[in-house]
Amino acid sequence: MYLVVGGTGAAGSRIVAELVSRGMQVRVLTRGNRRAKDDGVSFVRGDLLTGAGLAEATANVHTVIDASDGKTPRSQRVLTDGAENLMQACWASGVERAVLLSIVNVDQCALGYYRAKAEQERLFSTANRNNVVVRSTQFHEFLGMMWSTPSRARVLPVFTHTSFQPIDLRDVAAAVVDAARSESLGAGSGRQQITIGGPEILSMRELARQWTFARQAQGKTRHRALTVPVHVPGKFGAFLRAGRNLVPDDAVTNGVTFGQWLSEK
């Protein structure tokens, strides 16, 4: 049995679908009230922050996959305190492996959210030598999320001297499930971390051009949004301009490109 924490989220729901497509038994931890679905996925109600439901969720589970998130400064404790509670429950239930979805070079940026993710990685790696961290570049959705609201005012912020290597969530899910099942990772192999990135590295300006073009072609807007150069200040800006968000050597070469993802939307 696999437990997917954050299995109702953007990445987590793709991971659940990938496990189901490979014939695996899946349980999802959620704070919500969900009923089992026709695909056999079951749900346990619980909360990483309070620890409620974690014993029930991890019972008879051999592998836990964590794709939970706390995006705001208020909810970031899910990543740290939540990981601590989850690791304790895994230990008590005898879970063999926990796999964490993380971000490339997250330990090289002092942004608060990145610091919390780095601490979450540390908690996973030290809890059990069999655990694995999968570090990914930004999802295609990350750019969509950044642009959907300002584009209504016909403005697209474009970070100067910044490129992205966006990745499709189906490619992320496949890599996470492969890592969960791989015998060449974790205890004994000396490898507790893998890194994946999207198939192409494009400037943010080019990605914005593709995004606007697709929106116009799909009739979502008649007007072309104006790209506005933005110099991102601080440590996160320096991280991006240094290309620390890119992993050219670990690209998913046959993965879904940003352009393909846009045309499917």
Ligand X SMILES: NC(=O)c1ccc[n+]([C@@H]2O[C@H](COP(=O)([O-])OP(=O)(O)OC[C@H]3O[C@@H](n4cnc5c(N)ncnc54)[C@H](OP(=O)(O)O)[C@@H]3O)[C@@H](O)[C@H]2O)c1
Binding site for ligand X (CB under 6 A): 6, 8-12, 29-32, 47-49, 67-70, 78, 82, 101-103, 117, 136, 138-139, 142
Distance (Å, whole) CA 144 – CA 262: 9
Closer residue to ligand X (CB): 104 or 156: 104
The tokens 């404790």 sit on which residue? 77
Give least dist CB 164 to ligand X, A: 9
| CB-nearer residue toward ligand X: 33 or 254 | 33
Smallest distance from ligand X to CB 84, Å = 13
- The smaller minimum CB distance to ligand X, of residues 9 and 237, is found at 9
Edge-to-edge order in the sheet of strand 63-66? 42-45, 26-30, 2-5, 63-66, 97-103, 132-136, 193-196
Length in residues, the chain: 265
Q: Which is nearer to ligand X, 53 or 216 (CB)?
A: 53
Nearer to ligand X, 9 or 199 (CB): 9
CA angle 167, 12, 19 (to 5 degrees): 95
C-beta of 142 vs 216, nearer to ligand X: 142
One-character DSSP codes across 66-99: E-----STTTTHHHHHHHHHHHHHHHHHT-SEEE
Shortest distance, CB of residue 219 to ligand X, whole angstroms? 27
Residue of closest CB approach to ligand X: 9
CA distance 208 to 211: 5
**Among 81, 70, 72, which Cα is nearest to 6's?**
70
| Rounded least distance, CB 186 to ligand X, Å | 20
DSSP state for residue 106 in the 8-state scheme: G
Q: How far is the CB of 70 from ligand X (least distance, A)?
A: 6
CB of 4 to ligand X, least distance (A): 9
Task: Count CB-CB contacts under 10 A for residue 221.
Answer: 13
**Tokens matching residue 194:** 């893998």
